[in-house]
Structure 1
Amino acid sequence: MLPQESMQSGGSQRQDESGEEQTLLNRDEQFHLWIENIADIITVFKADGTIFYQSASITRLLGWAVEERVGQNIFTNPITHPDDIQAQQAFLIDAINNPDKVVTSTFRLLRKDGTFCYIEAIARNLLHHPLVQGIVSTYRDITERMELEKRKEEFIRAASHELRAPITNLKGHTQVLKMMLADHDAMEEPVEYLSIMDKQIDRLTRLINDLLDVTKIRASMMDYKDTLFEVDPFVRDLVILLQHNSSHHTLRFSGESHATLCADKDRLAQVIINLVMNAIKYSPRGRPIDITVTAEDDRVLIRVRDYGKGIPELYLQRIFERFYRVPDTDNDNRSGLGIGLYVAREIVARHHGEIQVESQPGEGSTFTVALPINT
């Protein structure tokens, strides 16, 4: 190669390298602009909770300058609402202990003007990644959503209270009419109609009570009155009572635990009634419902099994969510608000127990309530 050609080749190579470097710089600047102008706050923590990166969105959403928060430790100098500090710290600890797991939480953060806003936080532990070496978290302002949710729950609570009085009156008048017709040896048909009305009123009462319980749970106002009672006769009596209200299914009680619980008897009855009524609702006429009680590993297990349509595996993890209903694939239009199982799970959790479900489409479902036995 001639010297002149060599020089031209070398110059061309340097120009190419210079162009690639400029492209990379442009891409870095572009990425930086994306991050700094994203609506959510992006925070990167060290393993000890120290913030070593904070996006500019914190100024727009909370009013704090980036330099006011970088270097701060959320364990020792948080801007979290006092009632939510434990939730935020548990959120970070969960991320620290579970690499690559996506963890979520909701808590309130302090704005610089002294007000608080609700934050939905999502984090992932990338401490092991050599280019990150931190826990990456995004904070989204959900204050407006939470306020709307609060207004909705206040409406539900007010409406439920307003409905209680007329429903109670209807119940009373229905029972009086049934007694009057019975005293006068009336035809069976009117009495049957009143019995149907009575059952529908009971169903409506349960729906109203469930709605009220949802608002109480959300406001941490659920009331409990614990007493000591024997489990086996308690469940057996409930099954007998529920059998009187179900003429199309046979409720079969079996097993024994010889266990005693210190718990809210009425709340646990609410759980069992909900499970049995669901089993009845989703079982064809004539199919039995099995309710069993056993003791195992210092726990009492109450199982409710039906032989109905079952629940597809896709929906099993969501059926305990508030207002969630399994999609109606059979067009059977079964009613319900999707709150009974949510309330049941909360009641069982309060008693330090757990509720689980096993199901196979076409074979039915088994719900198991496990509660620690008092010793």
Structure 2
Amino acid sequence: INEPILGADGNVAYIINTTTNITEQILQKQATERAIQLEEILTHEQVLNEELATANEELQAINEELQQSQQDLALLNTELEERITNRTKALAESEAMMRTAIASAKLGTWFINVETREFVSSARTKELFGFYPAEKVSYEAVINQITDEYRSEVINAIETAIQYGETYDMEYPVIGFHDGKLRWVKATGKLYNAEAKKQPHFSGTLIDITEHKMEEIRKNSFIAIVSHELKTPLTSLKAYVQMLAAKAKKAEDPFTAVALDKVNVQVKKMTNLINSFLHISQLESGMIHLDKTNFDLVELIQDRVEEISLTTKGHVIHFQPCKPLLVYADEAKIGQVINNLINNAIKYSPKEKYVDISCSNVDGKAQVRVQDGGVGILPQDKNRIFERYYRVENNQTKTVSGFGIGLYLCSEIIKSHNGEINVESEPKKGSIFYFNLPLSQV
């Protein structure tokens, strides 16, 4: 510490300096500070050690979980390998069984690439089209072996199935390329959409149905011949019955006249049945002829209702006419469809029930509906009601005669006119049969 001393004149005469030794205090302070710092370091290290210990524990737990996961993955991998092995083995066995089944059934297989139209076929398919097993065959070459009358229909069916994913199922004749042999085949197939590493393709099977088809053709020919032969005596019988009925009425013999009217009704039934068999044989042989003309469908319905009403007792047939519906169709065959639907409504309805017939223009098509209050149709029967020779078998239908050909014939006639036919029905509540026909463009 410096302290100035003043003289008599008031100026600093000298300075007194006092010095104190504080080394020990400074050292003590520095030691205290180092101790505090060391304590802080030790405290921080302790915290770090505790955090490190916690981290080690967590790391050990994670390591144990990883070890468990690795064990689980190893087990899962082993299980997956076993599954893949088993499925691969099962698939191989299934493919072997399928190949055996295909070979036993003498099925041909084929494959069409949807994008490139590349055609791959089995040796059996080539054989059915008259090619050699080792011969390379294109799609066009196979199509060319289909007979002229079926070729366009088959091509259209294939293209439709590919475009819209519909099921392909057709029967058609082919001429063998090398052997010139006529064969009938049944082809079925479907569209398979693109999958991993696989392009979309259309594939299926082919089977030889020549023997079955020829037997069917012979049967249809026999039915056609017999039906034709029966028509001649029936026509004569009908003429004689009508002549005798007229004579009985003139002679005022009511019993004979009524009896002959009943005979005439039965003759008409036999004639209709024979005509049905004839039409079926013509349909199945592809020889049915449509004599199309423009006519008013409403007038045809009215004529058929009046004709059936004359011979129907116990049922009331009611027709609600609509505006004229001009169609271009075979009038006789459409009349046969209307007859069949009305007669069926009468057969399957209790007496004193109404049969309602109506017509209308639905979305530019002529629609005819025949409704009855009969026994109705079960759902499982509805799906097959238009099949050939199919009859609903139950307690209510046991007493109703028939061969199961009427609705099949109706369906085929309407389809041949590019129309549709269907049924709505509930058991014990009756049925509504209806069909649509394109309106005439005239």
Tell me which interval the TM-score lies in, with the shorter structure as reference length.
0.7 to 0.9
Partner of 1:169, secondary structure, is: helix
By how many angstroms is 1:206 displaced? Answer: 0.2
Q: How far 1:169 sits from its partner (Å)?
A: 1.9
SS in 2 for 1:326: coil
Matched, 1:104 2:169: yes
Indicate yes or no: 2:161 matched with 1:161.
Answer: no
Checking the alignment, whether the CA contact within 8 Å between 1:87 and 1:105 is kept in structure 2 is no
Query: Which of these residues, 227, 233, 252, is aligned with residue 293 of structure 2?
Result: 227
Residue type of the alignment partner of 1:88: V
- For residues 93-128 of structure 1, what are the alpha-carbon distances to aligned partners after superposition, in whole Å with 9 as ceiling and x for unaligned? 2332344x5421112334331212111111122242
Indicate whether 1:354 and 2:354 are aligned: no
- Higher deviation after alignment, 203-212 or 257-266: 257-266
**Higher Rg of the two aligned structures:** 2
**d(CA) in 2 for partners of 1:328 and 1:120?**
34
2:375/2:396 contact within 8 Å kept: no
Q: How does 1:202-351 map to 2 (within 5 A)?
A: 202-330=268-396, 332-351=398-417
The change in CA–CA distance for 1:261 and 1:27 in structure 2 (over 3 A counts) is closer
Q: Per-residue deviation at 1:60?
A: 5.8
Match in the other structure for 1:9: none
Give percent identity, aligned residues only.
29
Letter in structure 1 aligned against 2:131: W
Task: Spell out, residue by residue over 1:294-334, the C-alpha distance to the aligned partner (whole angstroms, 9 max, x if none).
Answer: 22332222211111011112122322222222234435232
Measure how far apart 1:371 and its partner are: 2.1
Q: Which has the bigger relative contact order, CA under 8 A and spacing at least 6? A: 1
Moved more, 238-247 or 83-92: 83-92
* Matched AA of 1:185: E
Query: In the TM superposition, what is the alpha-carbon distance from 1:77 to its structure 2 partner?
Result: 6.5
Shift of 1:350: 3.3
Gaps of 5+ in 1: 1-12
Runs of at least 4 residues of structure 1 off by over 6 A?
Answer: none
What corresponds to 2:49 in structure 1? none
Q: What CA deviation, in whole Å up to 9, does each residue of 1:246-291 have, x standing for no partner?
A: 0110101113123333333222211111111111111111101001
CA distance in structure 2 between the aligned counterparts of 1:178 and 1:373, rounded to whole angstroms:
42
Kindly tell me the number of residue pairs found equivalent between the two proteins. 354
Q: Is the 8 A contact 1:59 1:65 kept in 2?
A: yes
What's the counterpart of residue 243 of structure 2? Answer: 176
Q: Which structure dedicates a bigger proportion of its chain to helix?
A: 2
> Where do 5+ consecutive residues of structure 2 fail to align?
1-77
Select which of 47, 51, 60 maps to 2:119: 51
The alignment partner of 1:67 has SS state of coil
Q: Distance in 1 between matches of 2:94 and 2:205?
A: 20
Distance in 2 between residues matched to 1:165 and 1:46, nearest whole Å: 56
Secondary structure of the residue that 1:66 maps to in structure 2? coil
1:54-69 matches, cutoff 5 A: 54-58=121-125, 61=128, 64-69=131-136
Q: Residue 122 of structure 1 corresponds to which residue in structure 2?
A: 188
TM-score (norm 1): 0.83
- Report the residue type matching 1:284 in the other structure: P
Aligned-residue Cα RMSD (Å) equals 3.0
2:364 and 2:94 map into 1 onto residues whose CA distance is 59
Q: Quote the residue 2:14 is aligned against.
A: none
The farther-off stretch of 111-120 and 232-241 is 232-241
